[in-house]
Every structure is written in structure tokens, then in C-alpha cells.
Amino acid sequence: MPIRIAVVGSGYVGLVAGACFADLGHEVILVDNDQKKLAALRDGQVPIHEKFLPELLNRHRGQRLTFSDDLKEAARLSSVIFVAVGTPPTERGDADLSYVESVAREISGGVDQYKVIVEKSTVPVYTSEWVRRIILRNGADPETFDVASNPEFLREGTAVTDFLFPDRIVIGCDSARSAEVLREVYAPMTDGSYYLRPESIPQPDRAVIPPPIIVTSTKSAELIKHASNAFLAMKISFINAVASVCESVGADVNQVVNGVGTDSRIGRRFLNPGIGYGGSCFPKDVLAFRAVARECGYDFRLLDEVMRINEDQRQRFLRKIHHALWTLRGKKLAVLGLAFKGGTDDIRESPALHLVESLLQEGSAITAYDPAAMERAREVLGSKIEFASSPYEAAHDADALLILTEWEEFANLDLNQIRKELRYPIVIDGRNLYDPELMAAQGFTYYSVGRAASHPDGVPSGLLRNGKKA
Ligand code: UGA
């Protein structure tokens, strides 16, 4: 049965959730107070680079998916209200919940019959209690609503697929009635019927169909989200620390990852070493979880270390660039990748962008290419760097090529052409996209993370010009 749903906030999570709920068959009102964004959405524009999102928006726009700036009215018309507004970090590192609070205040005016108000944004463990209190304080009858938590685990770049084919659905509810409503929302997924529809989004590898639904208390669900992100960030920092040890002793981190990750208790995923994690979630959520724990009386120092290793990883990469090129003033560097990871145009907390800023400070000239994030990067960097229309144009006449984002396109470069374009055949890869031996055989001096540098004919870096001895 279609359910009337309001989704508040048309950011990453809200927009994807709204489009996917519509695809499940529900009637969705997407609410935002940004008029420009609403007009663009109504007009058919898609504000983020996300596979399958344009299809879903096209399919449902103006029919099962409408847009509004009237939160109170949208709440009145809906049985379930998902809150997916931003929870940015404050200066102290905890989450700023003022948007959540003002949404709760406004929703209370529309609570005229039973509704479930669901936290979809990542929020600290006590938020549901506050949301409840705010709605009551603003005059709603306690019998007419429940507050629940339904954390979202989608990743940018694969958001639609992650939403519709999740490993699990977590619903945190403190009443049987609200749990029943949320079970109904996800029924097309949990009973498997959605996946039988001819027009459903293609099934990814590893999909668990139907996905299991885990019902917990509201507080546990809030914690599941913070703990999941903190654990994944810890996994990345852990392997980055192991990569540093590998560099010291001459071991190969990729081999170590294979050996460690095949233990099913550990798992291979999120063990890719690199230049540290970024994005709008891990940095903010690790910090916020650290702050929540402190507030609740637990000193979660492990998370300090996770953050320290992450920062350090960028500095280590910078030192590697120095090691390869000596001084950086006046050097012309080709940068591949500006987004915080492959498959997205998002540059928030992008380790690639942080590195670009550091390289600029040291006086390097940069020409960058990213398949999706150049427009956004231009808004931040302006004319401080040059933008190229292909990896080869970026590499033209550069002293070295830096790979900073794990785009698939960068793992499949025409190495011959890259070598011809570069002034010196030096590649410094922050994402371990290539095999060191293969790169040496192709005539490159190649640096990566947690693996020994490789040189053509074993000749150390910088002594070759276009693959030939200078
Ligand atoms: C992350 C989580 O993976 C999602 O489950 C969660 O829903 C989301 O945050 C959120 O809280 O909204 P996302 O930030 O989109 O998703 O991106 P990830 O794919 O997790 O990557 C985060 C960062 O870690 C990127 O900078 C990426 O390059 C880096 N990373 C990831 C590594 O350095 N190594 C890895 O093995 C994996």
C-alpha cells in the first residue's frame, strides 16, 4: 500500500531517499526551504552526480514525487516524515542540531493525527528524545506521534543502488506502532516484490535480496550509525598505519591486505590504503561520535588516533612528493582527481583538494583533471590552478603525474600516451591504482602507498627523460 511520506531536506540523503521511496511506490513530498533548489528540481535538473538518480527523478517527478517549501502542510499531509537535514559540525566538533530542532518545531504544527517522525540524518544518540520534547513543547498531543530512527548507510557515487539494495535496514523504534509503520514503508524491499519489477534499478553484485530488517530501540539505531561510520574510518586508518610500516620494512601493503582481508572476520572491503578518508561524513561523524561519547562520560581516545593517522597520511604523501621531486617551487604538476573519492562530484573535505592547497602553498603550478568535480573545484580554487579536459592534457609537459582520487578512469589510462605527455615519466599514486612492476616496465618511476617505489631498469627517479636515460 502506498504511504504518504514527507522527506525534509533535499541534500544527498534526502533527495536519494525521496526518489527511492517514490520508486518503491510511495507518495513523496520532498521539502526544502531553498527556493532555487526546488525550482531546479521541478524543472528537471539534478543537483548531484549520482548514477540512476536522473532516471528515478524523471520517472516520478510531478507524479509520485512532488516538491514543496511548506513543511507544516507537508507534515499534515503525510503519515511518515523523514528528517534528512544537515547536521554540520560546530567549532567544538559536536553536531549542530539547530536545523533538526527547527524542523521539529515546524512539524509539530502539522501533527493532527498519528504520524511517525523519523531521523534519517546522522545524529547523536540523544537526538530522538529532544525531537520528541520539542514537538510536545510546541503543543502536539503525545498520542499523535512517535519519533523513530532509520539511519541511512548509502555511499556517494552508488547512493541509489546502496539505498535500494542495502546490506540491512535498521529501524529504531520505541513503540510497536511506529515499528509497524516503518516496516510497511520498506515492505516492497523486505518482501522482495520491488526486485521483481521489470523497471527496478539493476541489482549490484553482492546484493542481499530481500534485505534483512533489524529492529532496535531508537537510541541503539542512532548509535549504530555513528559506530558504523567510526568503524569504517578506523579500518581505513588502520590499513594506512600498516602501509606506513610496510614502507619502513619494504613490504607490500596490497599483499598484506589480501592476506588480512581474506579472513572473513575482517573482510577485504574498506582496507584500501591511500591519502586518507574525506567527504562530508567520516571526518564529521568520527569527530561527532568522539564528542557524544565524551558528553556521555566515555573518553573514546581510539577515535583521536583514527583522526590523527588520517591527517598524517596526507602529510606522508606530501613528503613522498618531495622525495620524488625534491623542491616543489616552480614545478608543474598534473593532478588526477579532485573529488573526495571516485564516482562523485563532491569535494567536501576532499583529501585531494587539501593536497592541492598544500602544493600551491609550496609554489607548484597545477593542472588538474577530474571526470565530475571540476566545476565544484573551480568554485573553490578559482584560477589558482588550471583545469584540463582529459588526463593526457593535464599530464602535458608536467614534471610528474599525481593520482589523488580512485576514479575507475584513472586505473585504465593509456600509459604510453601519459608517458609521452609528461616531461619526466614520474607517477605518484595516492590510491595504488597500478602495479609497481608494470609501471616500471612501462618506463615510469612510480611511487604509491605502502609499497616500494619502482624504477625503469632499476634506475632511481628523475634520471630518465621520457623513458630514456637523460
Ligand atoms: C560513508 C559510508 O561509507 C556510508 O555507509 C555512509 O552512509 C555515509 O558515509 C554517510 O554517513 O552518509 P561516503 O562518505 O559516501 O560514505 O564514502 P565512502 O565510500 O565511505 O568513502 C569515504 C572516504 O574514505 C573517501 O575519501 C574514500 O576515498 C576513503 N576510503 C574508502 C579509503 O581511503 N579507503 C577505503 O578502503 C575506502
What does the H/E/C string look like for the chain?
Answer: CCCEEEEECCCHHHHHHHHHHHHHCCEEEEECCCHHHHHHHHCCCCCCCCCCHHHHHHHHECCCEEEECCHHHHHHHCCEEEECCCCCECCCCCECCHHHHHHHHHHHCCCCCCEEEEECCCCCCCHHHHHHHHHHHCCCCHHHEEEEECCCCCCCCCHHHHHHCCCCEEEECCCHHHHHHHHHHHHHHHCCHHHHCCCCCCCCCCCCCCCCEEEECHHHHHHHHHHHHHHHHHHHHHHHHHHHHHHHHCCCHHHHHHHHHCCCCCCCCCCCCCCCCCCCCHHHHHHHHHHHHHHCCCCCHHHHHHHHHHHHHHHHHHHHHHHHHCCCCCCEEEEECCCCCCCCCCCCCCHHHHHHHHHHHCCCEEEEECCCCHHHHHHHHHHHCEECCCHHHHHCCCCEEEECCCCHHHHCCCHHHHHHHCCCCEEEECCCCCCHHHHHHCCCEEECCCCCCECHHHCCCCCEECCEEC
Around ligand 1, the residues with Cβ closer than 6 Å are 122, 152-156, 229, 232, 236, 270-272, 274, 277-279, 281-282, 340-341
Which of 337, 7, 346 minimizes the C-alpha distance to 158? 346
Rounded Cα gap, residues 168 and 186, in angstroms = 11
Pocket of ligand 1, candidates 119, 341, 347, 348: which has the most ligand atoms within 8 Å of its Cβ, to mutate? 341
Q: Where is average pLDDT lowest: 46-50, 75-79, 170-174, 335-339? A: 46-50
Residue 376: its pLDDT value, please? 95
Q: What is the mean pLDDT of residues 225-229?
A: 97
Out of 232, 266, 310, mutate this one to test ligand 1's pocket (max ligand atoms within 8 Å of CB): namely 232
Distance of CA 352 to the CA centre of its chain: 14
pLDDT band at 467 (very low <50, low <70, confident <90, very high): very low
* Domains of the chain listed by start with CATH number: 4-164 (3.40.50.720), 311-469 (3.40.50.720)
pLDDT attached to residue 463: 47
Q: What is the pLDDT of residue 460?
A: 54
Mean pLDDT confidence for 271-287: 96
Cell numbers describing residue 413: 589510462
Q: Residue 58 has what pLDDT?
A: 97
- pLDDT at position 45 over 50: yes
Average pLDDT, the chain: 95
pLDDT recorded at residue 95: 82
What pTM was computed for the model? Answer: 0.94
pLDDT band per the 50, 70, 90 thresholds, residue 172: very high
CA of 282 from ligand 1 middle (Å) equals: 7
Where residue 462 falls among pLDDT bands split at 50, 70, 90?
Answer: very low
Predicted confidence (pLDDT) at residue 442 exceeds the cutoff of 50: yes
| Residue 417 reports pLDDT greater than 70 | yes
CA-wise closest residue to 335 among 301, 366, 364:
366
For the record, the C-alpha cell of 89 comes out as 559540525
If you take atom 33 of ligand 1, which residue's CA is the nearest one? 277
> What is the rounded CA–CA span in Å between residue 116 and residue 111?
10
**Cis amide linkage into residue 210, ω under 30° from 0:** yes
Give the other-Cβ count within 10 Å of 207's Cβ: 15
Q: What is the dihedral of CA 352, 353, 358, 361, to 10 degrees?
A: 140
Pick the residue whose CA is nearest to atom 3 on ligand 1.
155
Of 78-92, 132-146, 257-271, 453-467, give the lowest mean pLDDT range: 453-467
The answer to whether 281 is a known catalytic residue is: yes
Contact 148, 119 (CB under 8 A): yes
Averaged pLDDT for residues 136-162: 95
2 touches 188 (CB < 8 A): no
pLDDT in the model for residue 459: 57
Cα–ligand 1 centroid distance for 206 (angstroms): 18
Q: Does residue 368 register a pLDDT over 50?
A: yes
